[in-house]
Chains A and B, each alone.
Chain A
């Protein structure tokens, strides 16, 4: 939204592959994923559990759990390649250039240190400030994220904060060195709806004020719809559709995105039944040949069974579906009766 299209993107991900070597062979959890994030832009990444959205986020911040590893592709931040940096180099990028917010605020804070100590430590790691300057900045940050009585609360421990307040502290931690990009992995999933609204509003405001770009990973389409500028829908380790959020939500081009939007109960339309996509996402060991969505797709043709579609222009979005190719899907093949 903020950036002009001729600017260099802040983050470039090209043909990213993340794999897990296992005894029974290598599992490809993220397969050939490419996208850009412009400075100040909010990119939403949605998908069901196991679609590879969190792994994509973790690969960007360089925190893939072994044995998971980046097996191919490139990640560039401000033009500089970061996926092959040595561990110590990456530590300097992480926190200073990329901030991270995780789902559970209790596990991302150290329970043995006061929040002030954690903030001061992070600030001093990345910025040349004295202890008292860092503390002043920490108090400012806590005020900025809306913690009442910040001067007193700074010496409290994580367990003395409620879930919503803890997530505010985590946001302060992520912002403390002034990063250009924040990777937020399910930042509101553990919170109640009323708190979720507060946190989303806060995140939006802070990123607008600081010009920070956000990669917002979540399964909650509602959060994406009101927060993101663009959205990438992931399915079985690949991007199924990517485009401006309004177009993807309202005029989805990929059959999976259409089904996903239909299956979300919404207010105002009370139908007898929700649209349902039969079956479930395939396990990584059982990804079908051709388009990974083909067994559940109502529009599949012969071509979908054998040839894997890449992202292609589909109106205002880009979708990985042969329906939008000049060649089409080929002769129709009925949907498999997948055992749901």
Chain B
């Protein structure tokens, strides 16, 4: 784990979240079934510096959205700690302290159709955080703030009078971003913010997010399954598999010198425009159930480099080339690290 001393803005250590998905007690007793626990997030350490974009990638069910929800406090963690700018989110705080802490972080959700209240006008949607945290002095100040926020996301202040259904998907995601910015946060957790959008609209939203980050010095935790988007927007990337981080690296390093076999597999599967006529090498197997994760390294059933040690011993995250990787094959030097190049389109 890279130790940034006191400079890290977000510090997540040993974060775990288990969900109990057992059958009801009576059914369990009669049918003699054990409890079933999903280890959605199983010990994750992340540090994010101020102004940086840290991305989490992985396939569905790997726990990346659970991490996002844990970080903003929508779920309490089973174990581990989350520190934002030196404040432990799990520690004892007065209500006022907690509110002050909450104001500094906001979340943008995947589905802009589900995350806006259809019965509220856009003005009220964006004004809600301002009102909740008492940021506006008076009505005129509130109106000025909402108008400014709408302009910031390239909408018209007059749009505040409309309802969400009057907007397209991309415009709604802009409204979500304006709402997230309303409490003047420093840290935004974005859970698949562009997955529901068309590519040309996705480009608009990504460009907007990059502009806002630069202007407002925002820190992003960006969750996505789209590696090309992650490559474009991130400073550092963490790859998740079955609730664990298998590799963390600066973006350029992760894409040009991927280490963990799972990262390599993910990179192999990206359909790239420049691959016209080239064959992707599909990897067999699917993500196993997180209820009974495989022993040892959870990737070993799909890994072509797995040996007996991988089946029994869980690999630890070891520092390498500015990041970390949790893989026995890399640690033992069984798996050489290769450079990858991408043909640049003309």
Q: Given the complex, which residues of A lie within 8 Å of B284, measured CB to CB?
A: 198
Given A164-B286, A263-B200, A266-B345, do A222 and B272 touch, yes or no (CB 8 Å)?
yes
Asked whether any CB of chain B lies closer than 8 Å to the CB of A149, the reply is no
Q: Is the Cβ of B60 less than 8 Å from the Cβ of A192?
A: yes
Interface of chain B residues 280 through 312 with chain A (CB within 8 A): 280-284, 286-287
Q: Report the bound CA distance from A340 to B170 in whole Å.
A: 8
Q: What class of interface size applies to chain B in its complex with A?
A: 35 or more
Q: Is the Cβ of A280 less than 8 Å from the Cβ of B168?
A: yes
Q: Which of B174, B200, B284, B344 has the most CB of A within 10 A?
A: B200
Asked whether any CB of chain A lies closer than 8 Å to the CB of B13, the reply is no
Q: How near does chain A come to B154, taking the closest CB pair, in angstroms?
A: 6
One of A75-83, A106-114, A152-160, A242-250 contacting the partner: A242-250
Q: Is the Cβ of A280 less than 8 Å from the Cβ of B232?
A: no
Q: Is the Cβ of A265 less than 8 Å from the Cβ of B232?
A: yes
Q: Given the complex, which residues of A lie within 8 Å of B266, measured CB to CB?
A: 193-194
One of B2-10, B141-149, B223-231 contacting the partner: B223-231
Q: Is the Cβ of A193 less than 8 Å from the Cβ of B59?
A: yes
Q: How near does chain A come to B18, taking the closest CB pair, in angstroms?
A: 23
One of A11-19, A26-34, A269-277 contacting the partner: A269-277
Asked whether any CB of chain B lies closer than 8 Å to the CB of A64, the reply is no
| A198 to B, closest residue via Cβ | B282
Asked whether any CB of chain A lies closer than 8 Å to the CB of B31, the reply is no
Q: Is the Cβ of B231 less than 8 Å from the Cβ of A265?
A: yes
Given A198-B282, A265-B228, do A221 and B198 touch, yes or no (CB 8 Å)?
no
Q: Is the Cβ of B271 less than 8 Å from the Cβ of A225?
A: yes
Q: Given the complex, which residues of A lie within 8 Å of B229, measured CB to CB?
A: 265
Q: Given the complex, which residues of B lie within 8 Å of A249, measured CB to CB?
A: 273, 276
| B232 to A, closest residue via Cβ | A265
Q: How near does chain A come to B65, taking the closest CB pair, in angstroms?
A: 14
Q: Is the Cβ of B344 less than 8 Å from the Cβ of A265?
A: no
| A219 to B, closest residue via Cβ | B198
Q: What class of interface size applies to chain A in its complex with B?
A: 35 or more
| B302 to A, closest residue via Cβ | A194
Q: Is the Cβ of A276 less than 8 Å from the Cβ of B204?
A: yes
Given A267-B342, A273-B207, A276-B204, do A221 and B273 touch, yes or no (CB 8 Å)?
yes
Query: Which of A193, A259, A275, A339 touches B225 (beta carbons < 8 Å)?
Result: A193
Q: Report the bound CA distance from A261 to B201 in whole Å.
A: 12
Query: Which of B171, B210, B345 touches A272 (beta carbons < 8 Å)?
Result: B210
Asked whether any CB of chain B lies closer than 8 Å to the CB of A287, the reply is no
Asked whether any CB of chain A lies closer than 8 Å to the CB of B37, the reply is no
Q: How near does chain A come to B56, taking the closest CB pair, in angstroms?
A: 15
Q: Given the complex, which residues of A lie within 8 Å of B204, measured CB to CB?
A: 276, 278, 340
Q: Is the Cβ of A276 less than 8 Å from the Cβ of B203?
A: yes
Q: How near does chain A come to B242, taking the closest CB pair, in angstroms?
A: 13
Interface of chain A residues 236 through 267 with chain B (CB within 8 A): 245-246, 249-250, 259-267
Q: Report the bound CA distance from A162 to B61 in whole Å.
A: 12
Q: Given the complex, which residues of A lie within 8 Å of B207, measured CB to CB?
A: 273-274, 276
Asked whether any CB of chain A lies closer than 8 Å to the CB of B275, the reply is yes
Asked whether any CB of chain B lies closer than 8 Å to the CB of A48, the reply is yes
Asked whether any CB of chain B lies closer than 8 Å to the CB of A284, the reply is no
Asked whether any CB of chain B lies closer than 8 Å to the CB of A307, the reply is no
Asked whether any CB of chain A lies closer than 8 Å to the CB of B187, the reply is no
Q: Is the Cβ of B270 less than 8 Å from the Cβ of A226?
A: no
Interface of chain A residues 137 through 192 with chain B (CB within 8 A): 162, 164-165, 192
Q: How near does chain A come to B250, taking the closest CB pair, in angstroms?
A: 12
Given A197-B283, A226-B280, do A267 and B199 touch, yes or no (CB 8 Å)?
no
Q: Report the bound CA distance from A194 to B231 in whole Å.
A: 17
Contact with A along B171-190 (1 / 0, CB 8 A): 10010000000000000000
Q: Given the complex, which residues of B lie within 8 Å of A246, measured CB to CB?
A: 276-277
| B275 to A, closest residue via Cβ | A226
Q: Is the Cβ of A270 less than 8 Å from the Cβ of B232?
A: yes
Query: Which of B199, B274, B276 touches A263 (beta carbons < 8 Å)?
Result: B199
Interface of chain B residues 127 through 178 with chain A (CB within 8 A): 154-156, 168-171, 174
Q: Given the complex, which residues of A lie within 8 Å of B272, measured CB to CB?
A: 222, 225-226, 266-267
Asked whether any CB of chain B lies closer than 8 Å to the CB of A63, the reply is no
Asked whether any CB of chain B lies closer than 8 Å to the CB of A268, the reply is yes
> Which 9 A-B pairs have CB atoms at the shortest separation, nearest pair first?
A268-B342, A222-B271, A263-B203, A48-B198, A274-B203, A192-B59, A265-B232, A197-B282, A197-B269
Contacts A262-B203, A269-B342 supplied; 15 other A-B pairs, CB < 8 Å: A165-B286, A192-B287, A197-B268, A197-B282, A220-B271, A222-B273, A222-B275, A225-B276, A226-B275, A267-B228, A268-B345, A274-B203, A277-B200, A280-B201, A339-B156
